[in-house]
Amino acid sequence: MTNLFYLQLITSFLVGGSTIALLSFVAEKANGKIAGILLSLPSTVVVSFIFIAWATSPEAVGKIAPIAVATDGSVMIFSVVYMYVSRIKLPRTQSIILSLSGGLGSWLILSVPLAIYKFDNIILSLLIFGLFVSIAYYFLTIKNNVKEQKVHLAYNTVQKLGRAIFAGSIITLAVFLSKVLHPFWGGVMSGFPAAFTSTFVILHWYYGSDMLFKIGKTVAAGSFVYVPFVVASHWTFPAFGIFGGTISAYLVSLVVFFALMKLKRK
């Protein structure tokens, strides 16, 4: 490994961690009605794509975009499994461990085969995403009987730092795997539910299962903010390079984001 690659890894960790720290700050100021959407904003995947493109090539990002779409569907299943397992009456620590094991186990089972078989079909990935997000919408929105209300998320300094370090580590791992193994592995890790995992654990520990379900009502809707960025990246990164590809894809995502914000305020 060259000095440049070490620089890419260190920079990806710092930028990724800072991005998640900023997202935590913004989520603190939002109410529960839109917090789930904010958590779904493309953050980890944006930084991952930028550094994967830098470490490999913008064309590689175009190839792994389909796998990232499908893994976002897996994140929806992660959310469903985590929240419903959290309802099992157990001591707090055991409940978190069991919920996290179930959620991450489901994500791994659904996501890892995509990298092994180098999944690259954008149409099929959208169908997979549509199926999984429909399941999440049913269980987290339709069947979710916890009353939706204004809930402000508040993270202390240690929690913010922990989230930032965790997310930065995941992004660095995505870049590392893209370079050392294959970009498809980076595509899978770029879809790892880093923001969801850290947020769910914190809320579960301090507020209990009901708080998770309050936030969970908008998780499925929020995934429609994440996916437009990834789908757009399939074409924008190869066409416009790292900078132009990122900006163009994120603009597409922001259009969807503000449309969802407008709908939630009605």
What confidence score (pLDDT) does residue 266 get? 58
Q: Average pLDDT of 147-165?
A: 68
Alpha-carbon distance 187 to 109, whole Å? 15
What confidence score (pLDDT) does residue 176 get? 87
What confidence score (pLDDT) does residue 127 get? 95
Alpha-carbon distance 173 to 190, whole Å? 9
Identify which has the larger pLDDT, 157 or 94.
94
Question: According to DSSP H, which parts of 42-193 are helical?
Answer: 44-55, 58-85, 92-116, 122-137, 157-180, 183-190
What confidence score (pLDDT) does residue 47 get? 84
Domain count for the chain, please give it. Answer: 1
Q: Which of 82, 53, 77 is nearest to 187 (CA)?
A: 53
pLDDT in tens, 25-62: 665 555 555 555 565 667 778 888 988 898 889 999 99
Whole-number percent of the chain with pLDDT over 90: 33
Domain of 190? 3-143+152-264
What confidence score (pLDDT) does residue 202 get? 84
168-200: buried (b, 16+ CB within 10 Å) or exposed (e) per residue? bebbbbbbbbbbeebbbbbbbbbbbbbbbbbbb
Q: Which of 260, 266, 188, 214 is nearest to 38 (CA)?
A: 260
Q: Average pLDDT of 169-184?
A: 84
Decide if pLDDT at 257 tops 80.
Answer: no
153: Cβ contacts below 8 Å, ≥ 6 apart? 27, 28, 30, 35, 199, 203, 215
pTM of the entire predicted model? 0.82
Decide if pLDDT at 138 tops 80.
Answer: yes
CA atoms in the 13 A half-sphere facing the CB of 127: 5
The tokens for 249 are: 């894809």
What confidence score (pLDDT) does residue 37 get? 57
Alpha-carbon distance 250 to 253, whole Å? 5
Across the chain, mean pLDDT equals: 83
Decide if pLDDT at 24 tops 80.
Answer: no
pLDDT in tens, 82-133: 999 999 999 999 999 999 999 999 999 999 998 888 888 999 999 999 999 9
Of 137-146, 159-168, 207-216, minimum mean pLDDT range: 159-168
Residue 235 CB coordination number (10 Å): 15
229: Cβ contacts below 8 Å, ≥ 6 apart? 42, 45, 46, 249, 250, 252, 253
